[in-house]
Each structure stands twice: as structure tokens, then as C-alpha cells.
Amino acid sequence: MDAPHIILIHADQHRYDCVGVNGHKLVQTPNLDRLANEGVNFSHAFTPTPICSPARASLMTSQWPSQHGCLSITHTEIYKPGNGDLPKFSHSLKEAGYQLGYVAKYHQEFEGTPLDFGFDEFHPESEYGPWRKAQGLPPRPHKNKWFGELDPDATANQTRLGWGATCMMDMMDRFSQTDKPMFLRWDPTEPHLPNIVPEPYFSMYDSKDIEPWPSYEDTLAGKPYIQSQQRRTWEVDQWNWPDDWAPMVSRYLGDISLLDAQVGRLLDKLDELGMADNTLIIYTADHGDLCGGHGMIDKHFVMYDDVMRIPMMMRWPEKFKHASTCEAFVSHELDIAATICDAAGCAIPQTFEGRSLLPVVGGDDPNPPQEVFGMWHGGQFGSYCQRMVRTRQWKYIWNPTAEDELYNIDTDPGELLNVACDEANASVLKDLRGRLVQWMDDIDDQLLNPWTQRQLERGLTY
């Protein structure tokens, strides 16, 4: 088999539960459902960190944020770009003869642009404004700064998402004229708030039909103070579901359906070019979005599944002959980099922490992971360290300067009840703390030191 073409669609802030095939009752995502139903749907894919730039640096380097050095986004006190000298999957693809294209969001995860890391073309989202003007349209509206609104002038294909898909299809046309395999990456900002969507997507979901998330009715009792502070910081502490959250979620879902329609354009283009069979296409996101979960917005100072668990599906007809659901735990940003190298026939750099998912998908991994880890360092509201270990039943979050959090996912999927102080869970807590210490030691996490290790091992954490 010739080297495959590879397309990575890497969205921003897409919740796992906001895909039709993942069980949402309303959202229409026929093209993402198609990818899942014709390939592999990952049911337990998690971000290494729920914030843009660090997660994206992890995708490029297959390293944890504490290793590559990009801990937060720009305009924060702890931001710095990641170590640009680390091996990146794009370098490996370039050396293997791939032609590489990149469209849309690049979030300063490293100094420079994708052109400095092996890509032949880069079309940043700053190109959208002039492109939109050339379509005879006024500027994209931005009156309701964070909470979204109608774009009354653009058609679906004239939106920023439509522009991104058009750029991708243009490159597909041009790159397919050569004898080199292609790697194309599309990083739409959507469905990150604010959700500025045209009709019919703006009105696609009646807010009256949208039920609260399982995590919505959270009193935050027994949880770190910083969570209730986040409600006040965003000025959403007095919001209610029908009047405030549901209309915002309706726009969020509309943006997801608009994104799905643009994914459909790419799938149609692959079929038109006769490239679908030997193309590995991956859809995922950097992290999720609270979007009213736990009465909060965006993604700060928490490690709930609302922000940690993300959709991920892969389709490669020549390789994946039968549709399947993969229930192995996946640290998706780290594992995608290794998977791309493996699929392309490249050696996986020794610095990569992730593993190729091809053996996992093929059933050749005798011990697929049954746990996943995560970390958080801070954002625009300040620095705040957290570490997480998540198994199928339990989630433990270590807050070095606040209360521990322990959730029984089986009985409390919304993560409403913090049971870290329940003596009945003492053995579970000890086991999870031990796993966390071992992982932090394995990755040389500098947050693990004689004081914090003692804190964890002796249970001096609440």
C-alpha cells in the first residue's frame, strides 16, 4: 500500500457529548457520525490539558505541557512558547516526502508559524476578513463579545468555517496533482465561543428543547473555592437555564452542525478526487467546553469531563475494514502524533510520550490503557496547578493548594458529588494517589518534589 494521505481536523472546544453518534438527543452531525460509522469511534479520548496552546503543543511534540514548556495561552503570566527544538510529527512527515498544508488557528504554541515546522502552506484565520470582504460582505459581527449572535449576512459557505473548508479543498485539488502524499491540517476556532452563526444554523435548535447537562445542577459544595469564583468572574453566577444558558447552548450546537456540514464538503471532495480509500482522516478537538456545565463557562480551573473528554474518530477504509468503537483510554493529543507517524511509515521520535493507536484499533495491543492522566497550570485568571488520573469508574483530581476531588463516574457521571472525604473511599483514594505519583515521576513532572510527594503519599491533601 502506498503511503496514505492524512487529513487532521482539529476543532476547538468541542464537547464529547455534542456529537450525534455519541448520544446527544438533538445535535445533527451526519458527517461526523459517518466518520465514526465508517471507521473507529473513540469513546474515552481525553485532552492532556484543557487549554488551547499547551494542548496544541502536545499535539505537535507528543509531550506533556510540563515537558514541552508551553503551560498557558498568550497574555497570561505563565505563558511562554514551547521548546521549538523538540521533534515534531510534521518534521517526520516532511522528511518522509509528504507535502504539508495548514489552515486556520495557530495559537503561538511555539515561536514562529507552521511554516517553520515543515509545512509548505499556511493559511491563518487572519486571511478570512479580506476573503469575506471580497465576497461583498460586511465584517463578521462581534457585538455580543463572548456569548454569540447571528451572522445575518453570510451563507454557510461564506462563514469562517466555510472559508476554512474552501482552503482545504483548494489544497486538496492542487496537492493531488503531484505524486507525493499529502498531510492537511484544519484547525477551525469553532465551536469555541462566541458562536457567531448564520441561518439556518442559528435557529436550528430551539432553546426550549435543550435539556441541562448532567453536570448543571452543581452546588459546588465541598469543592475548591476557585470554582464558585469563576462563576462570579464571568458574571454568570445568577444565570438560569431557560433564559441564559439554553440560548447560548443552542448557538453552540448550531456552530457544531455548521462545522459538520463543512466536514461533509471535505468528505465529498475526497470522493470526487478518488482519494478516500487511502486517506486517514482524523477528527478531534483540543478540549471541551463547560457551556453551562457546573454553572460555568469556558474551561478554567476544573478537570471535569465537560472539558477533558473530547470526540475523536478515525476513518481509513484501506486499513480499517470494519466500523468499531474503541473503548481504550486515549491521551489524544500525545497519541495522535505517534499514530500519524506510524500511519505514514515514519519512525516515532524517542521523545514522544504517546503511542500509536493503530495496534489498539487493530486489536494487537494486549494491554490497552485503562487510565488517563491530565494537568492544568493556569490561564488568563491566574496560575493554579492541578493533576488528574481518570479510570473507567473513578476520577481523582489533586489540587495542591485546595481540596482534593474524587468522583465516582459510575454513580455520578455529572461529577456533582465530591467524595474525597468519604472514609469508604480511602483505599480508592490511596490507589489513585499512588498512580498519580508514579506517572508524575515517570514524566519528570517538576510539581512532584519531596514535599508534594509526601503530601500525596500520606494523604495530607484536604
138 and 199 assigned to the same domain: yes
pLDDT at 358: 95
pLDDT at 1: 54
Tell me whether residue 373 is in a domain.
no
137 and 273 assigned to the same domain: yes
298 and 421 assigned to the same domain: no
Q: Are 251 and 12 contacting, i.e. CB atoms less than 8 angstroms apart?
A: no
One digit per residue, the tens of pLDDT, for the chain of length 462 reads: 589 999 999 999 999 999 999 999 999 999 999 999 999 999 999 999 999 999 999 999 999 999 999 999 998 999 999 999 999 999 999 999 999 999 999 999 999 999 999 999 999 999 999 999 999 999 999 888 788 999 999 999 999 999 999 999 999 999 999 999 999 999 999 999 999 999 999 999 999 999 999 999 999 999 999 999 999 999 999 999 999 999 999 999 999 999 999 999 999 999 999 999 999 999 999 999 999 999 999 999 999 999 999 999 999 999 998 889 999 999 999 999 999 999 999 999 999 999 999 999 877 777 878 899 999 999 989 999 999 999 999 999 999 999 999 999 999 999 999 999 999 999 999 999 999 999 999 999 999 999 999 999 888 766
What total number of domains does the chain contain?
2
Tell me whether residue 374 is in a domain.
no
How many Å apart are CA 83 and CA 328, to the nearest integer?
30
How many Å apart are CA 346 and CA 343, to the nearest integer?
8
Non-local CB neighbours of 396 within 8 Å, separated by 6+ positions: 388, 389, 390, 404, 405, 406, 420, 429, 432, 433, 436
Residue 161's H or E segment, with its range, is helix 160-175
CATH at 393: 3.30.1120.10
13 and 62 assigned to the same domain: yes
Residue 345 burial by CB count (10 A; 0-12/13-18/19+): exposed, middle or buried?
middle
Written as one string, the DSSP assignment of 340-382 is HHHHHTPPPPTT--S--SHHHHTT--SS---EEEEEEEEETTE
132 and 220 assigned to the same domain: yes
* Angle, helices 160-175/246-273, rounded to nearest 10 degrees: 20
The 40-42 sheet, strands edge to edge: 121-123, 99-104, 182-187, 5-11, 279-285, 313-315, 40-42, 324-326
367, 398, 422 - which closes a domain: 367
CATH at 342: 3.40.720.10
pLDDT at 364: 74
| pLDDT tens, position by position, 199-225 | 999 999 999 999 999 999 999 999 999
How many Å apart are CA 313 and CA 325, to the nearest integer?
9
Q: Domain range holding 144?
A: 5-367
- Side-chain half-sphere CA neighbours of 106 within 13 A: 22
